[in-house]
A and B are shown apart, each in its own frame.
Chain A
Amino acid sequence: MNALHSPTHHLLVAKGIGKHFGGLSALDQVSLNIPSHSIYGLIGPNGAGKTTLFNVLTGIYRADEGEIHLNGVSLTHSSPNEICKQGIARTFQNIRLFGNMTAIENVMVGRHVRTHSGMLSAILRLPSQRREEQEMMAHAQGLLDFVGIGHHANQIARQLPYGDQRRLEIARALATQPKLLALDEPAAGMNDTETATLGRLLQKIKASGVTLLLIEHDVKLVMGLCDRVAVLEYGRLIAEGEPISVKNNPRVIAAYLGTEAA
């Protein structure tokens, strides 16, 4: 609530998140404030807990400690589908498309949560149902065009080139009309040109009013794109701030950037 009156409005507020697997603390007292209309980077070495944090934020895992609020609404105990409905959509580090469905069908499934036709209207083929189907299809095609794979609409998702699968996941997530779009290593496995195109796409998404949370190993991409960056190491937040200050933070250099910035 305070957030609404402070100079920067925070879309997502996570406080003191803890997640433990047996003796391993995958997340330990992690707090994040993600400003609205920003691109927020989350970096850290392998096994730092980045994906685990995504899973907690999206309800796949339940946090052992801490609270999550989106626009002041508590999501701490919500199920994944409720969280999506509230406005967080995500992609997966190891792509999880509906592989045997077509690209456009994948995006239409993403649209499910913002549409209403039930079984009865489908059985009776009511005009409202047909109209909604048309709208869903047009909307999905629009999103495929937006991410640049409109020409693949009727192709089987699994048979798309790798980079296009990653874009399709983004289109599917956008179809849920998220306030916060969480991307888990969207540039993984992409070459420089593809990564540059992806960077422009993410900026376009930001310009459309969606806030982005981005896990990425490509430091150049993160530093160029993000408004703020948080760094995780062994489940703890070791630095947070604007890219420049994070980049020069000695703890970060030691933990993570040291090897790659050299």
Chain B
Amino acid sequence: MNKRIYIGLLCLTVVIALPFGTDAFLGRSWVRLLDFALLYTMLALGLNIVVGYAGLLDLGYVAFYAVGAYLYAMLASPHIGMHWPLWALLPMGALLAASFGAVLGAPTLGLRGDYLAIVTMGFGEIIRIFLRNLNITNGPAGIDLIDPIQIGNFSFGSSHSLLGWDLPSIYNYYFLFIVLTAFIVLVSYRLSDSRIGRAWAAIREDEIAAKSMGLNTRYLKLMAFAMGAAFGGISGVLFAGFQGFISPESFTMGESVMILCMVVLGGMGHLSGVIMGAILLAILPEAFRPLSQFQQITFGHVWLDPANLRMLMFALALIVVMILRPEGLWPSPVRRRELHQNDAMPASVQKEGP
């Protein structure tokens, strides 16, 4: 018990000190990157409910992020002239996205695997194309001048001084995102360790057996879609307030794939793994940025465009990890067993040998 308290305190200290340390050693742009990493973490945790817990492949997850973001952008900006507060828009974003999740889920419940992936991918694209073409969302230009997030009189968009330190807005957002990420982690953990969480795992393991044991698989899958979507909606609301500007191009299929990569790379169904995957993939492309300077210095010329090179390295890293560790970098024990189902038998036989 005592040990857990120490570990908790240690984590808390690291989390609080992180932006200051990052700012001091790597520069302010990295603190902004941390903020984005936290947004991605929330998204990955949401998608983890659908993919990791219930075992449903969703390639259109970014649509729920868009729903949350556009809700905030439209109701808290000069666009329509409404300036609703966060405490109203955050739950609304979660609920609206959850309803979209249920609407998407309903017709796809009979589908599995590849088919489900294709339909969800289509759904994601439909949402984006709607956003591009509707007048009320201001088409491809998107919405700007979005209100910064404000709670009471505290505006997250401006700097505040604390004990003589002048903390810019990225710090405010960092701490807000940390609190919400912790909330999502708690909710995910409690769900996985519950009657519903076990039912999701059962569906993932064997849907026919699950049905025969009386599980209402349609309802349970819908709940997974809705719950995952709600987290996407929350992240979207935060994103719009944080960035101050959104357009349909923030919500492409590439984003969906990226979020899925975070879940898979980290370790589907395992909270620590998914968090690690999200932070790693959010930061990795940035970490490859110095490669262009390296080229400039070594060859006196940039041979490979840094943006392309970054994506190339990124893809390479993903492929290597997936070959060496198909269960992800930090999988849950159950997932590891699932993915090593076939080689488990010979291993145990070998162990029993002389």
Contacts and interface: CB of A to CB of B under 8 A. Distances in A.
A117 interface: yes
A105 B210 CA distance: 13
Interface in B184-221: 187, 190-191, 194-199, 201-202, 205-206, 208-217
A38 to B, nearest CB: 22
B196 A99 contact: no
The secondary-structure label for the interface of chain B is helix
A133 B191 CA distance: 13
B337 interface: yes
Q: How big is chain A's contact interface, by range?
A: 35 or more
A123 interface: yes
A251 interface: no
Contacts, number: 108
Contact of B187 (A80, A98, A123): A123
A133 B196 CA distance: 11
Contacts of A59: 211
A119 B191 contact: yes
Interface string A13-44: 00000000000000000000000000000000
Contacts of A158: 337, 341, 344
B209 A123 contact: no
B212 A80 contact: yes
A81 interface: yes
A159 B215 CA distance: 24
Interface in B118-146: none
B223 A90 contact: no
Contacts of A98: 201-202, 205-206, 209-210
Interface in B154-206: 187, 190-191, 194-199, 201-202, 205-206
Interface string A90-123: 1010001111110001001110110101110011
A165 interface: no
Contacts of A176: 213-214
Interface string B314-354: 00000000000000000000100110010010001000000
A126 B93 CA distance: 25
A123 B190 contact: yes
Interface of A: 58-60, 79-81, 84-85, 89-90, 92, 96-101, 105, 108-110, 112-113, 115, 117-119, 122-123, 125, 129, 132-133, 136, 156, 158-159, 172-173, 176
Given A119-B223, A122-B191, 18 more contacts: A60-B212, A81-B212, A81-B215, A85-B214, A89-B214, A96-B208, A98-B202, A98-B205, A109-B198, A119-B191, A119-B227, A122-B190, A122-B194, A123-B191, A125-B190, A133-B194, A159-B348, A176-B214
15 contacts: A80-B212, A84-B211, A89-B214, A92-B209, A99-B341, A100-B341, A108-B198, A109-B201, A109-B210, A109-B213, A117-B194, A117-B195, A122-B197, A123-B187, A132-B195
